[in-house]
Amino acid sequence: MLVIVPASAYVSAVLSRKAATNVPDKTSSTPPKGSFGDWMTDRALRAMIRLALFLPLRARLWLMGRLISRIVAPLAGYRDRAMANLAHVWPDLPEAERRRLADAVADNAGRTMIENYDVKGLLRRMANTPVHGPGVDAAEQARAEGRPVVFVTGHFGNFEAPRAALVARGFEIGGLYRPMSNAYFNAHYAANMHALSGPVFEQGRRGTLGLMRHIREGGMGVLLFDIYDSSGTPLPFLGKPAPTVTSAADIALKTGALLIPFFGTRQPDGQNFHIEFDEPVPHGDPVEMMRQVTQALERRIEAHPEQWFWIHRRWKPKRQRKRAAAKIGP
Please write the tens of the pLDDT for every residue from 2-46.
Answer: 333 333 332 333 333 333 333 334 444 566 777 777 788 778 778
What is the model's pLDDT at position 255?
93
Instruction: Kindly state the average pLDDT of the residues 63-84.
Output: 94
What is the distance between the alpha carbons of residues 132 and 309, in angstroms, rounded to a whole number? 23
User: What is the enclosing helix (H) or strand (E) of 114?
Assistant: helix 95-117
What is the model's pLDDT at position 326?
73
Percent of the chain scoring above 70 in pLDDT: 85
pLDDT single digits (tens) 221-254: 999 999 898 889 999 999 999 999 999 999 999 9
Please report, for residues 28, 32, 77, 187, 330, the alpha-carbon distance to residue 183 in angstroms, rounded to integers and kept in the order given.
12, 5, 22, 6, 43
What is the model's pLDDT at position 330?
53
pLDDT single digits (tens) 289-298: 999 999 999 9
Q: Which residues neighbour 192 within 8 Å (Cβ) at sequence distance 6 or greater?
A: 116, 117, 119
What is the model's pLDDT at position 197?
66
Residue-wise burial string across 131-145, b where 16 or more C-beta atoms lie within 10 A, e elsewhere: bebebbebbeebbee
What is the distance between the alpha carbons of residues 58 and 41, in angstroms, rounded to a whole number? 26
What is the distance between the alpha carbons of residues 118 and 271, in angstroms, rounded to a whole number? 13
What is the model's pLDDT at position 321?
77
Confidence band, pLDDT 50/70/90 cuts, at residue 183: confident
CB-based contact 110:66 (threshold 8 Å):
yes
Q: Lowest mean pLDDT: which of 112-116, 199-203, 240-244, 289-293?
A: 199-203
What is the model's pLDDT at position 101?
98
Domain boundary assignment for the chain: 8-24+38-328
What's the mean pLDDT when you consider all of the chain?
85
What is the distance between the alpha carbons of residues 96 and 101, in angstroms, rounded to a whole number? 9
DSSP, residue by residue, 45-112: HHHHHHHHHHS-HHHHHHHHHHIIIIIIHHHHTHHHHHHHHHHHH-TTS-HHHHHHHHHHHHHHHHHH
Q: How do 240-244 and 220-224 pair as beta strands?
A: unpaired
pLDDT single digits (tens) 143-179: 999 999 999 999 999 999 999 999 999 999 987 777 7
Among residues 261, 177, 172, 253, which one has the least CA distance to residue 219?
A: 172
What is the model's pLDDT at position 1?
34
